[in-house]
Amino acid sequence: MGLNIVQKIIKSHLLEGELKAGKIVGIKIDQTLTQDATGTMTYLEFEAMDVPEIKTELSVSYVDHNTSQMGFENADDHKYLRTIAEKYGLYYSRAGNGICHQVQLERFGLPGKTLLGSDSHTPTGGGIGMLAIGSGGLDVARALAGLPFYISFPKVLKVNLSGRLSPWVTAKDVILYILELLSTKGNVGWMVEYGGHGVRTLGVPERSTITNMGAELGVTSSVFPSDDITLSFLRSQGREEGWIELHAADDAEYDRIIDIDLSILEPRIATPHSPGNISLVKELAGKKVDQVCIGSCTNSSYKDLMTVAQMVKGKRLPAGVSFVVAPGSKQVLEMITESGALSDLISFGARIMESACGFCIGNGQAPATNAVSVRTNNRNFKGRSGTQSAGIYLASPETAAACAITGVITDPRDLGIKLSEISIPEKFKIDDSMIIPPSKKKDVEIYRGPNIGDPPSSEPLPDSLVGEVTLKVEDKITTDHIMPAGIRLKYRSNIPKYSEFVFEPVDPTFPERCLSNKEKANIIVAGLSYGQGSSREHAAICPAYLGVKAVIAKSIERIHWANLVNFGIIPMMFVDENDYDEIEQSDELSMKDITKAVKCEETFIIRNVTKNYDFKVKLELSKREREIILAGGVLNYISNSKSNKGG
């Protein structure tokens, strides 16, 4: 039997383990990326590992999230990141150069390579045929140190594309349709591979829109083949020498196959407050819109913005609508400027934002109270926009532009606009002057502003734990609920300060309650898919700082699971989901001999002391994860292994 693309890439990077579903494999990471909001902690952790220089083929530190600079914190963090890049041999993409995933695609990504990024949308690189995976910062720090990245060998879903998209139906509608089919939960442990004749009708930016939002499915990665379309994309970026052809073997096998005929798809839209709530745009047509935002790593490519500009050209923005455009990169911005499209957007009434994440992470452009905002990004979690009462709808740039033109939700097919084909230039404008290449200097002094603190230290797991359910939450709690971004983002490098905001949107008294709970460990009880969304490891570091020792949930998402383990919090799952209903906030739980169980047991019995009954949880941990938890987290685990080797 031949291999599929996922298996081919894993096989060629295999350092440990076997290619068998569910088994843990350790793979070599070729490239890494970080962004500033997760990057400072990543490099603080890397520094704590005491490795003189990075061991990857190529690593890039981007500044794109925290660019608002309200106060000194962001600028200090950027300076820290620049000096780190200089000292350890990374590329440094300065603020203004663009969103990490867009720039990585344009300037660095290569088919057949592995990329690990401290951002959940790292799989954007799958559009170019890389195996690109998002993780917490600590895992990126380990990859920088040349250590393997561990995943369970994935089950692979093939999405077989046939036909061609109809006019006004886009790659965004493809992934929204897949989200409708598969939802945002229950896909942990899977990777998605695209194939079939329909692949040939999609360019690299379209493919990347699809792999980008694979993150919302909760799959580990999504990947397209590398073909002559990939080659011409790389050629247009002056990087064709890095191209390789990559296809699944004809007899490759998959764990599941779904067929999608592109020609029957229609424009879709995700409604508040989950990217998995999908409707047809036509079903919502006529609903008043207050704001339209175009941008983010999902949909801010040259083609996206040229299309929008063509649609709005010569028209005027209706009163009552705010129209925000954030081009994905400096390259995109320069090219739409030179083509005249930027001035069409401005004449229409666009507010042009920096090439950065901006509105997507709630960094500005918070909508009005109860507003309807149609956006081209990938997440519409409640409150993420900065306005709790706003309803965020996710759609293609074409649908979003149609809404901006009319002021109501509009299916772009109904506008009667005749779009002329956007010709993709043979050569894109290449100017890497905003990327500082690795330096050879050794005596660089790292800049540390007052906002930068060390990663918190932790203790090994005690033999037994007495804990309290400090918080009980529902299904689909995202890392945005646990650790809000937006106006709190600037505290990412300051754990004691950022910890004041853990669970702020859910229960702002949580941090105080945790800290006053001196006698007992804090325990979080949750429903399905706990920790969806962002890779931010702060959603584990800050709770750990507040004394959280375990999360007991119906299920936990992959990246968050790894982050919990990395910071010494035990991820546990109910054996019987009815026990979730029984347990209440403030219950006292006794975990006798927990260390013994974490060492080798698959299940563990917890006593609910308050209610006087026992219940069983699963400890689905690999050997390595068990050792990390026992040590109290990865940093302790690494220093223990070093001193064991030394002595």
The yes or no reply on residue 119 touching ligand MIC (CB under 6 A) is: yes
**Window of 116-124, 187-195, 251-259, 410-418 that interacts with ligand MIC by CB under 6 A:** 116-124
- Indicate which single residue of 152, 355, 377, 385 sits in contact with ligand SF4 (rule: CB under 6 A): 377
The interface region with ligand SF4, picked from 126-134, 245-253, 356-364, 569-577 by CB under 6 A, is 356-364
Which stretch in 73-81, 259-267, 314-322, 353-361 sits in contact with ligand SF4 by CB under 6 A? Answer: 353-361
Q: How far is the CB of 109 from ligand SF4 (least distance, A)?
A: 15
Using CB under 6 A as the criterion, what x/- string covers residues 35-54 for binding ligand MIC?
--xx----------------
* Choice between 360 and 634, CB closer to ligand SF4: 360
Residues whose CB falls within 8 Å of the CB of residue 337, separated by 6 or more in sequence, listed in order? none
Q: Where on the phi/psi map is residue 241: left (φ > 0), alpha (ψ -120 to 50), or beta?
A: alpha
- Token output for 376: 């081209």
- Provide, rounded to whole angstroms, the least separation between the CB of residue 490 and ligand MIC: 12
Cα-Cα end-to-end distance for the chain: 47
Whether the CA torsion 167, 172, 173, 178 is positive or negative: it is positive
Q: Looking only at residues 47 through 86 of this chain, which bind ligand SF4 when binding is defined by CB under 6 A?
A: 65
Question: What is residue 613's three-state secondary structure?
Answer: strand
Amino acid type, 483: M
Residue 6 in 3-state DSSP?
helix
Using CB under 6 A, count the residues that bind ligand SF4: 11
259: region left, alpha or beta (phi > 0 left; psi from -120 to 50 alpha): beta
Q: Do 603 and 646 touch, CB atoms closer than 8 A?
A: no
Q: What DSSP character marks residue 106? A: I
Q: Which does 7 bind (CB under 5 to 8 A by kind): ligand MIC, ligand SF4, none?
A: none
- Least distance to ligand SF4 from the beta carbon of 363, Å? 8
User: How many residues form the binding site for ligand MIC (CB under 6 A)?
Assistant: 14
**91-110 mask for ligand SF4 (x: CB under 6 A)?**
--------x-----------
Contact letters for ligand MIC, residues 467-506 (x by CB under 6 A): ------------------x---------------------
| Radius of gyration over every alpha carbon of the chain, rounded to an integer in angstroms | 24
Q: Which does residue 99 bind out of ligand SF4, ligand MIC, none, counting CB within 5 to 8 angstroms by kind?
A: ligand SF4
Q: Is 121 in the site for ligand MIC (CB under 6 A)?
A: yes
In the bound state with ligand SF4, the residue whose beta carbon lies nearer, of 183 and 376, is: 376
Pair 149, 29: CB distance under 8 Å = yes
- Identity (one letter) of the amino acid at 226? S
Q: Which residue in 586, 592, 593, 574 sits closest to 611, CA to CA?
A: 586
Pick 134 or 383: Cβ nearer ligand MIC: 134
Tokens of 356: 């950065």
Minimum distance of ligand MIC from residue 104's CB (angstroms): 13
Residues 334-363 that bind ligand MIC (CB under 6 A): 361
By beta-carbon proximity to ligand MIC, the closer residue of 119 and 290 is 119
Verify binding: residue 357, ligand SF4, rule CB under 6 A: yes
Selected binder of ligand SF4 within 106, 119, 304, 411 (CB under 6 A): 119
Residue 169 binding partner per list ligand SF4, ligand MIC, none, with a CB distance cut-off of 5 to 8 Å that depends on partner kind: none
384 forms part of the interface with ligand SF4 (CB under 6 A): no
Strands of the 155-162 sheet, one edge to the other: 221-223, 190-195, 155-162, 256-261
**Structural contact between residues 411 and 167, judged by C-beta atoms closer than 8 angstroms:** no
Among 237, 365, 376, 378, binds ligand SF4 (CB under 6 A): 378
Give the Cα separation of 146 and 59 in Å (integer).
Answer: 12
CB-CB contact of 301 with 385 (8 Å): no
Residues 6+ apart with CB under 8 A from 302: 205, 331, 332, 335, 336, 424, 425, 428
* Residues 398 and 206 sit within 8 Å (Cβ to Cβ): no
Give 4 or 114: the residue with its C-beta nearer to ligand MIC: 114
Select from 49-57, 113-121, 319-327, 449-457 the region that touches ligand MIC (CB under 6 A): 113-121
Q: CB neighbours of 238 closer than 8 A, spacing ≥ 6?
A: 427, 430
For residue 264, the tally of other CB atoms under 10 A from its CB is: 12
List the single partner that 536 binds among ligand MIC, ligand SF4, none, CB under 5 to 8 Å by kind: ligand MIC
Residue type, 202: L
Rounded Cα gap, residues 355 and 67, in angstroms: 10
Contacts of 632 (CB under 8 A, 6+ apart): 458, 459, 460, 461, 568
Q: How far is the CB of 295 from ligand SF4 (least distance, A)?
A: 7
Measured between alpha carbons, how far is 361 from 534 in angstroms, rounded to an integer? 10
The torsion angles phi and psi of 260, rounded to 5 degrees, stand at -130, 125
Sole binder of ligand SF4 in the list 7, 97, 296, 608 (CB under 6 A): 296
Smallest distance from ligand SF4 to CB 377, Å: 5
- Which CB sits closer to ligand SF4, 62 or 348? 62
How many residues in total does the chain contain?
Answer: 647
Which span sits near ligand SF4 by CB under 6 A: 73-81, 131-139, 355-363, 594-602? Answer: 355-363
- Give the SS3 label for residue 538: helix
Cβ proximity to ligand SF4: between 377 and 529 the closer is 377
List 8, 94, 107, 121, residue binding ligand SF4 (CB under 6 A) = 121
> Between β-strands 588-591 and 465-472, what pairing exists: parallel, antiparallel or unpaired?
antiparallel
Question: What mask of x and - would describe binding to ligand MIC in positions 379 to 418, judged by CB under 6 A?
Answer: x---------------------------------------
Beta strands, E only, 421-496: 435-436, 465-472
Select the residue interacting with ligand MIC from 8, 13, 28, 65 (CB under 6 A). 65
Span from 52-60, 175-183, 222-230, 529-537 in contact with ligand MIC (CB under 6 A): 529-537
Q: Which does 38 bind (CB under 5 to 8 A by kind): ligand SF4, ligand MIC, none?
A: ligand MIC
Applying CB under 6 A, among 534, 555, 563, 608 the residue interacting with ligand MIC is: 534
User: Residues 6 or more apart from 147 whose CB is under 8 A from it?
Assistant: none
Beta bridge partners of 472: 525
One of 4, 34, 74, 120 touching ligand MIC (CB under 6 A): 120
Separation CA 410–CA 287 (nearest Å): 8
Pair of tokens at residue 328 = 């994905």
- CB closer to ligand SF4 out of 378 and 470: 378
The reply on whether position 535 binds ligand MIC by CB under 6 A is yes
Token pair recorded at residue 210: 């699809």
Residues near ligand MIC, by CB under 6 A: 37-38, 65, 119-121, 134, 361, 379, 485, 533-536
Residues near ligand SF4, by CB under 6 A: 65, 99, 119, 121, 296-297, 357, 360-361, 377-378
